[in-house]
Amino acid sequence: MLPLSEHLATHYRKETRVEVLVQGGGSSAGPIAVLNRIAQIAASSRTFTDEESKNLKVFTIAHDVLAIVVHPSNPIKNITTEQLQGILSGKITNWKELGTPFSKPIQLINDSSGNGTRTALEERVMEKSKDKKAGSNLITLMSVVTNSSSEMKANIANFKYAIGYLPFSYLDNTVKALFIDGVPPTYAAAYKSNYPLFRDLYYAIRKGSSGLELAYIYYVLSPEGQDIVVQEGFLPVSFITTVEELDRIKTGKKQIPGGTIE
């Protein structure tokens, strides 16, 4: 969420002359900072825990779609949910098991524990596993651990036999996004609720907060703020309903991968 938050803060400063300082650190850092009065707004790409939510007012500010990605030279095009569960759990370890023409170990590139994107994979993929044994929904520790989506993308782009996961906003021609259960990795498929890797993005402030914090949240949820959400490659809280509307706000530095909404 760091690039999105920086973009929102820059535009807010231009419109209001109010400075919003943005710092990264992962989805667990924000709630801790706000609850300890170190920061005023927490950003998170995972749901807040019950303990965190006791003293926080949470706002959904955007919707994000995740892609399973491999090196562009990898011939694989589609992966099933069951196969993905096998890779993430460490049960499937060779590309030959997925029908590729080569027998090479699968190198899983993984986010660090507590990262919002990793948590989303555990919730959206691993918790749907038919294996109900304790710990079966956890991602294997046998992986290369990265600290950011940018770092993960660089690892996958530079290693032919790697696989990992990225928000759609990070996709470019240095990696290849896979179909999941035959569904293409596009915003159109996510919009129609066909694509499975979909999550909400959140901002949170302390309960009872007012003034600057609340004014900023209102800006983020305004048409101007939601235009920036789309420019950064996310889906707005109020879904786009027409191609004309999509074209109107798709004017930022990023383009929507996968074409327009059908």
Fold agreement between 2-63+198-249 and 65-191: yes
Higher pLDDT pick, 154 / 187: 154
Report domain extents, the chain: 2-63+198-249, 65-191
Give residue 74's pLDDT: 97
Q: What is the pLDDT of residue 117?
A: 82
Alpha helices in 47-160 (DSSP H): 50-53, 81-89, 116-124, 149-157
Q: With contact defined as beta carbons under 8 Å apart, do 195 and 179 qualify?
A: no
Distances (CA, A) of 110 to 73, 143, 203: 20, 6, 24
pLDDT for residue 260 is more than 60: no
Listed ranges 73-82, 136-145, 225-234; the one with the highest mean pLDDT: 73-82
Q: Where are the beta strands (DSSP E) in the chain?
A: 42-44, 56-70, 78-79, 107-111, 144-146, 162-167, 176-177, 179-180, 198-206
Stronger pLDDT, 178 or 116, i.e. the higher one: 178
User: 137-155: per-residue pLDDT in tens?
Assistant: 678 878 999 988 899 999 9
d(CA 213, CA 190): 31
pLDDT at 120: 82
Please state, in angstroms and as integers, the Cα–Cα distance from residue 129 to each residue in 87, 134, 148, 236, following that order. Answer: 12, 12, 26, 30
In sequence order, the β-bridge partners of residue 206 are 56
Architecture of domain 65-191: 3-Layer(aba) Sandwich (3.40)
More confident of the two residues 34 and 261: 34
Condensed to tens digits (0 to 9), the pLDDT of residues 88-133 reads 999 999 999 999 999 999 999 998 876 778 888 888 888 754 454 5
Is the confidence at residue 9, as pLDDT, over 50? yes
Mean pLDDT (the chain) is 85
State the Cα–Cα distance between residues 35 and 40, nearest whole angstrom.
9
Domain 2-63+198-249 belongs to what architecture? 3-Layer(aba) Sandwich (3.40)
CB contact at 8 A, 134 and 152:
no
pLDDT the model gives residue 257: 40
State how beta strands 198-206 and 42-44 pair: antiparallel
